């Protein structure tokens, strides 16, 4: 044999083989829905009055009671050239001017009521009655 270093150890073969172990699989749980019993969250929203942004009840009712689109359409179809609503000490007054068949003459309609909606309704009834006899 030739030259061998002093710390040489021959390679010993063994029948023991090292086998890598596969990673341990953890069981995955997949849910397609929320848990059956979710604690209810307590939530309360302050009212507009508590926040100081609400209108008084009477003002909010008056604002929603008058359908101005409908009023304008009815007055236009009747030929109205002007209309006006005024707040009075006792409520509201609604006035409307419609030309008569005789050129140059105007017919004035006026109604007063405690609410704006009532005044407009009364005035539109007058206009309808007048148009029925024209």
Residue numbers of the domain that contains 129:
88-134
Q: Let me know if residue 81 belongs to a domain.
A: no
> Does position 63 have pLDDT exceeding 80, yes or no?
no
Per-residue confidence (pLDDT) for residue 17, from 0 to 100:
65
97 falls in which pLDDT band (50, 70, 90)?
A: very high
Q: Let me know if residue 47 belongs to a domain.
A: no
> Does position 101 have pLDDT exceeding 70, yes or no?
yes
What is the total count of domains within the chain? 1
Q: Let me know if residue 69 belongs to a domain.
A: no
Q: Let me know if residue 93 belongs to a domain.
A: yes
Statement: the pTM of the whole predicted model exceeds 0.75: no
Q: Let me know if residue 113 belongs to a domain.
A: yes
Residues 90-98: what's their mean pLDDT? 91
Residues 90-112: what's their mean pLDDT? 89
Per-residue confidence (pLDDT) for residue 105, from 0 to 100:
86
Q: Which two tokens stand for residue 106?
A: 């105007």
- Can you say whether the dihedral through the CA atoms of 110, 115, 117, 118 is positive or negative? negative
pLDDT in tens, 1-54: 566 667 766 666 556 666 677 777 777 777 677 666 766 677 788 877 777 776
Q: Let me know if residue 27 belongs to a domain.
A: no
Which candidate, 68, 76, 70, places its Cα nearest to that of 99?
Answer: 76
Q: How high does pLDDT run on average in the chain?
A: 78
pLDDT in tens, 116-128: 889 998 999 998 8
Q: Let me know if residue 108 belongs to a domain.
A: yes
Instruction: Put residue 121 in one of left, alpha, beta given phi > 0 → left and psi -120 to 50 → alpha.
Output: alpha
Question: CB within 8 A of 126, min separation 6: which ones?
Answer: 109, 111
Per-residue confidence (pLDDT) for residue 53, from 0 to 100:
73
């Amino acid at each position: 044999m030739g030259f061998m270093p002093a710390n040489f150890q021959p390679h010993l073969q063994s029948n023991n083989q090292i086998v890598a172990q596969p990673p341990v699989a953890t069981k995955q749980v997949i849910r397609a829905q929320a848990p059956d019993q979710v604690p209810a969250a307590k939530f309360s929203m302050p009212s507009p009055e508590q926040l100081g942004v609400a209108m008084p009840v009477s003002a909010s009712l008056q604002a929603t009671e008058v359908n101005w689109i409908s009023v304008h359409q009815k007055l236009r179809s009747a030929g109205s050239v002007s209309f006006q609503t005024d707040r009075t000490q006792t409520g509201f007054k609604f006035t409307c001017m419609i030309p008569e068949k005789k050129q140059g003459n105007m017919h004035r309609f006026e109604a007063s009521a405690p609410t704006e909606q009532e005044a407009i309704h009364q005035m539109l009834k007058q206009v309808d009655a007048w148009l029925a006899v024209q």
